[in-house]
Amino acid sequence: MLNGYDTSLDNRLEQAELAEMELAKLSPLAAEAPQLREAKAKANLEAERHTKKSTAMEEARKAADSATEMQKLVPEFLSVAAKAVKELYSVLREIDGSRQSATKALTIVDRVDYDVELEDGEARELAADRDPRGLAYALAAHHGDNKIHQLLDGLDPEFSYLRDCYMDEPLQRDLANFVVSHAVQKSHATAPKAEQKPAAPPGG
């Protein structure tokens, strides 16, 4: 220090002025920081969305292509299934026709039994000096549709249109019941008995 003059003040002033100039240069850029941060966040979000959309679109395209390829198999499978259902329908129709024939024959059997019982009953009533006119109505209650169904069941007590069929698989059960409902007369069609033991699955 000469004559009491402190040169460090010059140095500090110089440094301060340099800092002031640097600050003047950086201030506009610093003012842009919030907008730049917002722009960067927006750009990152757009990039993330673009990637997510592109990935999802590619997955959708692959899935749609797979569906298109698999659909090409449908016509053949449908044709095979329709043929099988038609054959099942035809068999069930034949079975139902045979059951109807049996029912008609048993109607004759029941009528003969009724006539014999009526004649025997009337003979007994007359022999006992009683009026036989109410006998016909009494005997009729034990004959007719119920009796015919009993006779038919007696020929094959375990009969069922779906006997020995595997009915545990829901789709197969629904298909079987659907075909039965169309092939068999409603008076003859019966759902699989609850106590019926399920058959083993095909191939099992």
- What is the chain's length? 204
pLDDT for res 24: 75
pLDDT for res 26: 73
Closest-CA residue to 113 (of 149, 85, 138, 143): 143
Overall pTM surpassing 0.85 (yes/no): no
pLDDT for res 193: 38
Contact 188, 156 (CB under 8 A): no
Each residue's pLDDT tens digit, 47-100: 999 999 999 999 999 999 999 999 999 999 999 999 999 999 999 999 999 999
Q: What percent of the chain has pLDDT over 90?
A: 56
pLDDT for res 6: 65
Mean pLDDT of 134-151: 89
Please tell me which residue, 62 or 12, carries the higher pLDDT value.
62
Q: Is 103 helix (H, G, I), strand (E, B) or coil?
A: helix
Q: List CB contacts of 177: < 8 A, sequence separation 6 or more.
A: 162, 191, 192
Contact 177, 141 (CB under 8 A): no
Mean pLDDT of the chain: 85
* Buried/exposed code over 128-145 (b: 16+ C-beta within 10 A; e: otherwise): eeeeeeebeeebeeebee
Contact 159, 153 (CB under 8 A): yes
List helix spans (H) across the chain.
Answer: 8-31, 33-71, 74-127, 135-140, 145-155, 170-183
Each residue's pLDDT tens digit, 115-128: 998 898 888 888 88
pLDDT for res 161: 94
